[in-house]
Structure 1
Amino acid sequence: MTKKLNRHFSRPAPGRASATVARDLLRLVGAYGGNQPALLREAGLTHLSASLLSPTAPAPALSHEEFTRLHAHCTWALDECAARQEGREPLTKLGVDMLCHCVITSRTLREAIERTDQFSLLIGRRAGRLRLHEEGGVARLDMETVRTVRNACAYLSDLTGLSTYHRLFGWLIGEDIALTDAAMRYPPLLDERTTFYLMPHPLTHGAAENSLRFAAGYLDRPVIRTPQELEPLIRSFPFDLAVPLSKDAPLSERILHLFAAMLASGEAPATAAWLARSFSISEATLKRRLAAESTSLIALRTQARRDLAARLLSDPRLSVSEIARRTHFSDATAFRRAFHQWTGQSPAAWRAELR
């Protein structure tokens, strides 16, 4: 296998997107038969045509939003070309969005990976199957793709897929998943700066399979994102490379998100023992850290139930009994009593004010 690329290129900050990467993506589009001026028109970037398409022109100043649009249009054009080479249908933005909807209610990262593979199986050759291997505390996630043509176009398609999975899985658990290795089946076929911009980790080339390696402990991390958080993400996912993956938030906020996700999917909030195992800490440490944040598991469960109840009461089709069931109360009477303690109003009075 070839040596890894040295990690010495830094990803530009939002608002300072790389013109070098933009030009390289457009160059690839042209090399594989794409109409570069038409693509720029579709992306609403006609005003940048002269500076992007001329290698001798001064480097244009792309805004973060402009680069995201360009990145999306170039990637879809090149993935369509890669699909045409293989005689298959290309993956679409709708397909990526539906994958996100399928995994958002997963309990753990392991379950999210299993669902992703099932989704890949469902849509056929549009996406690579995922194979998870564990050994010695290390997880290896292979992205199997059947390629008869391995050129730069196919390379970009597979690299984008590998990067998309890495970023989606990190976003789901609210952590940047630290990679011990990222590998591609190909020789290095893109400019180093473009490769690192799309996958900011040293890459091993000439591997047996496209893969990611990371600590196996991540697999049992709970999915803490909620369906409500998904909608803002998929507006530009996976092309907005500045979307933060980790939730730099207190433990209490992460647990609150987790409780909200569990209640929304019909499950009771997790126990202290389950949470301690999931966050790789002891129960005593869990309670001590929450106390340091001036809260407790009881308070967080209460807040999650109260927030869900208020949201459900805005739906006139749901009875108070049904809302009580969804918020895990024994009956409507117990729910009414608790809701009055929370708000000083009955559910009916609250609903009347909403109307």
Structure 2
Amino acid sequence: MAKTEAYKLNEPVPLSFVRALLVQANNAKLDVSALLRQAGFPWNPLQESAEPQVFISVEQYSRLCMALFQALNDESGGAVGDCKTPWGSTRLLLFSLLHCANLGTAMERAIEFNASCRERRGEVRVHELVTDSSARTVSLRYFSAADPQHPPQQSGVLCGMAMWMRVCGWMTGQYIDIVSATCVGPEPGSLVPLRHFFHCPVDFDSDCNAVTFSARHLDAPLLRTEADVEDFLRVAPYHVVISPIASEVSITTRIRGLLGDDLGGDLPSFEELTGMLNMSARTLRRRLEKEGTSYQRIKDNARRDIAISLLSRARMTVSDVAERVGFSDPSAFHRSFKKWTGQSPGEYR
């Protein structure tokens, strides 16, 4: 297994993700018992009388995903509602990208691959990479005129695009921060899936589904080999859907690890950080610029992600959350959170 990434095979998978897969299998009228046997589950998580054990391994979850996708003959798991990704397509796609010079070339080739190899219900009107006039950000845009008999859930299409960006991050060993997103459809009744993938503002009723990120990532070289692809595919569903792989190559990931989860105290200065990473200030700035980020942005994103996690799960007041992520002034936290997510902390909760 490559040394550039950490596969968390012993991480417990939340039961809610497993149940969501089984509900999807039920809705598709598949044999749930057969899928569970194929994935090595000794019990059915949908049954109230199931064993109290709730630990599900990364490999079990990934096997269940793959069993479902194979039964559906759709490796996107229905996320991209206007087309199917036939079983085996992802493996062939990744192999076809390995020798691309950089991520930009790989993403353009993936657009070509998808146009020729996916089974579609409607005409694709937009599928392109567009760099903004300042050349600082780039948007992956997608919109299809789907069969009106089978209209896609546009928020699901957007989540599918976020999953693809996680694959792109794995290919380059970089953390790709999506800074904004747009969705063709109206705001869905539940924002939980979108919040899982997007820690940034999402604009609805747009003319195109799009994810926007730093254009510097397009120049990143691809780091993977055929052996890496085989290792990745074994647990890809977990890392694409639930938790992206933490690459040891990415300087962003290393700094996030140094910052930890409690940002209430003083964070290291840039000079202190260079000592912790054993590199010069010039080298660190160059590495950060290469990944399309900065130390300040990494700190802001860490505060954002921890605040989102605490607001979603912990029984803490907004003021307590603000203090936990380093804001002594709750009003400043409100302003920052609104800038990060497009919602106030209260609205988000």
State whether TM-score is above 0.5. yes
Amino acid at match of 2:142: M
Partner SS for 1:20: helix
- Please list every run of 5 or more consecutive structure 2 residues that lacks an aligned counterpart in the other structure: 1-7, 253-280, 288-349
Once the two structures are superposed, the pairs formed by residues 1-355 of structure 1 within 5 Å of their partners are 15-45=11-41, 47-49=42-44, 51-54=45-48, 60-77=54-71, 80=74, 90-125=84-119, 130-135=127-132, 136=134, 137-148=136-147, 149-150=150-151, 156=156, 158-159=157-158, 161-187=160-186, 192-197=191-196, 199-202=197-200, 203-241=202-240, 242=243, 244=245, 246-248=247-249, 285=282
Gap change, CA 1:185 and 1:71, over 3 Å in 2 = farther
Gap change, CA 1:16 and 1:239, over 3 Å in 2 = closer
The CA RMSD over aligned residues, in Å, is 4.1
1:185-213 CA-to-partner distances (Å, cap 9, x unmatched) read 3445585444544x253444443322210
Gap change, CA 1:138 and 1:34, over 3 Å in 2 = same
Gap change, CA 1:133 and 1:41, over 3 Å in 2 = same
1:182–1:201: 8 Å Cα contact kept in structure 2?
no
Gap change, CA 1:238 and 1:163, over 3 Å in 2 = farther
1:138-174 CA-to-partner distances (Å, cap 9, x unmatched) read 211013334332355x864x35631332012112222
| Structure with higher helix content | 1
Partner SS for 1:52: coil
Number of aligned residue pairs: give it.
240
2:162–2:211: 8 Å Cα contact kept in structure 1?
no
- Cα distance in 2 between the residues matched to 1:27 and 1:44: 18
Gap change, CA 1:187 and 1:82, over 3 Å in 2 = same
2:97–2:109: 8 Å Cα contact kept in structure 1?
yes
Q: Sequence identity, in percent?
A: 22
1:35-56 CA-to-partner distances (Å, cap 9, x unmatched) read 32232223222x221x334499
Amino acid at match of 1:140: S
Over alpha carbons, which structure has the higher Rg?
A: 1
Amino acid at match of 2:129: L
Gap change, CA 1:21 and 1:238, over 3 Å in 2 = closer
Deviation at 1:243, TM superposition (A): 5.3
- Cα distance in 2 between the residues matched to 1:223 and 1:95: 19
1:102-134 CA-to-partner distances (Å, cap 9, x unmatched) read 111111111011111121122143597730111
- Cα distance in 2 between the residues matched to 1:288 and 1:141: 27
In the superposition, the TM-score normalised over structure 2's length comes to: 0.56
Gap change, CA 1:53 and 1:77, over 3 Å in 2 = farther
Matched residue, 1:258: none
- Cα distance in 1 between the residues matched to 2:111 and 2:38: 32
